[in-house]
Amino acid sequence: MIISKQKPFKEILACLEGVERVFLVGCGDCATVCQTGGEDQIVEMKQRLEAEGKKVTGSMIGESACHILNMKRELRQHKAEVADAQALLVMACGAGIQTFSEVLDKPVYTANDSLFLGNVQRFGHFSEHCSLCGSCIVNETGGICPITNCPKGLLNGPCGGVDKGMCELDSERECAWVKIYNRLKALGQLDKLRKLQSPKDYCSAEKPRMRVIERKGSGTQGPGTQGPGTQGSVTKGGGK
């Protein structure tokens, strides 16, 4: 899920300068789990904005704010409240807010900063395990990503700085390659370590770019979709 944190209220107020009537949008998915766009945060934001003299014309919590089609449908149920607002304040990730800037012709502001693609360790505790590099190698590394878990992103074993199994750049963190070794050993797959990984092709992660995945049979498949299987990838801009 996308991990987000709420911006300082002062910053939110600054972007709403001159805006007297606001419609609030939350997200029932990632931002709810992160407590940056769930029901409680919407209620709290409403109270804080009202204390600043702003009128909250209404609010909604979309099932997933990044789902453009569903959000268009949900917005229809709040047509009058949205029409009455001068702007929307979206409490979701960067993808969520851009759903609304795409479908509405009025100002849309975000209350959150999007941080990373995260795993939920436990309530309120998130960790990063994937950097979305676009060409996954975890099949070779026991299901552990060295690009994300090793601060140097090394692909062929540890650097010389491993200290008693811990990372030289963070003494509280186990070296990613020690973890990979132990995991492959437990799986009886140590032979995988003998395979030299070629330098990674980061082209598919290059920015700026525009990536669209189109699933075959969805009726939206366009030119440029490639490869067999159920889906293809179209990358425009930088990268290929």
Q: Does 232 bind ligand SF4 (CB under 6 A)?
A: no
Q: Does 41 bind ligand SF4 (CB under 6 A)?
A: no
- Count the Cβ atoms, other than its own, within 10 Å of residue 65: 31
- Residues 139, 145, 146, 148: what is their CA dihedral angle, to the nearest 10 degrees? 150
- 119, β-bridge pairs: 127
- Residues 79, 84, 85, 91: what is their CA dihedral angle, to the nearest 10 degrees? -30
> Site for ligand SF4 (CB under 6 A): how many residues?
24
Q: Does 148 bind ligand SF4 (CB under 6 A)?
A: yes
Q: CB under 6 A: which stretch of 34-42, 70-78, 93-101, 168-176 binds ligand SF4? A: 168-176
Q: Does 136 bind ligand SF4 (CB under 6 A)?
A: yes
Q: Does 181 bind ligand SF4 (CB under 6 A)?
A: no
Smallest separation (angstroms) from ligand SF4 to the CB of 57: 41
Q: Does 91 bind ligand SF4 (CB under 6 A)?
A: no
Closer of 151 and 232 to ligand SF4 (Cβ): 151
Residue 72 in tokens:
């268009």
Q: Is 159 exposed, middle or buried (0-12, 13-18, 19+ CB in 10 A)?
A: middle
Smallest separation (angstroms) from ligand SF4 to the CB of 134: 7
Cβ-Cβ contacts under 8 Å for 144 (sequence gap 6 or more): 138, 176, 179, 180, 183
Site residues for ligand SF4 per CB under 6 A: 130-133, 136-138, 145, 147-148, 150-152, 154, 158-159, 161-162, 167-169, 175-177
